[in-house]
Chain A
Amino acid sequence: MNKFSQILGAVAAGLAVFIAAWFFIHAGHGGSTSAHAEDPAVAAATVQPGGAPIDSSKCILPVEQMRSSHMQVLDKWRHDSVRDGNRVYVNPEGAHFEKSLNTCLGCHNNNPMFCFMCHQYADVKPTCWDCHLSPMEVPQ
């Protein structure tokens, strides 16, 4: 099977699941669209699994800085954590983060939008996803 038909299949499957989920959620609320917060399933979904005390609502560095140098940050993090065991990053505001790609993916989980689109536009081909499983591509 070629890559294109794989992606096409995946897109189709995803669409189907999305529509099914939409119906499931709507059925659960009798057609109401404003009751998400009261729904225990959805509330559970927004809780960080593992309950890590990491403030994941913030970005580690300002957006502009991340846009220009996220690759250096990731490379430095990788080196520090894999080779030196130095796993804690403290940003200029004093917030603590774990030096891990998972820290980024915890919020920026939609990596087709967050990573791929821009990389495609800039025509860069990082090899991150040869090994790291992006949240969106863990198959069934």
Chain B
Amino acid sequence: MTENDKASSRPTVADRSSLAAIEVDHLVKVYKQTRAVDDISFSLPRGSITGLLGGNGAGKTTTIAMIMGLVLPTSGRVRVLGHRMPEESAAVLGRMNFESPYVDMPMRLTVRQNLTVFGKLYAVKNLSDRIAKLADDLDLTDFIDRANGKLSAGQKTRVALAKALINQPELLLLDEPTASLDPDTADWVRAHLERYRKANNATILLASHNMLEVERLCDRVIIMKRGRIEDDDTPEAIMARYNRTTLEEVFLDVARGRVNGVRQEAAR
């Protein structure tokens, strides 16, 4: 293969943009004296599911908020589904969705009313059929006409997930999707996300403190610490690099600053 052949088979910038669901390029966010996100870059291919790991204050939520366009970067660039954020957000907001503990569904509205409002905002066709399908898939039928404020934590999470899936998004951003759920409900949510990703070739980026969740769901893990990317690879490769059998042990190594020692030990 000649150099020219190699060059022609290599994806161009335009190709990479069309293949990537999210491209983050030298992203920085500074709040007064705090560098919440410090020069991070990564690219997520379409159809992938990636876990964003890190302790409190690592910069995960700020990173996701910048990808969504809720927070403006101090410097750097974000492209979502091939469009610059937030400048071209109108072109992509209808094709993505999110779930986060920082937002709630209106408490006084019933589940059906909430899903109707968001379905109309996202211009969902055959909305009543879509709501019926989600109610069936996510087991909402028993309480679909109950006010959101009167639901249990597990039911509220399923409703929030239904809202996040109402427009069948190509890109799903999830911030702690199973926080405060019992193990059974959390496992049920994870199984549903896996099914959704496979059925729709959707891209999922999830921030989580639940290492088992990340190990089970994600084909790639980005570990953040103090606003920077500490590691970025498959869960298996990361565990091998740190000579650990679980991501939880890796997380503790990173959080407690044992990274270099553990890596050298693993290399020996």
A pairs with B: no
| A interface list, Cβ under 8 A from B | none
| B interface list, Cβ under 8 A from A | none
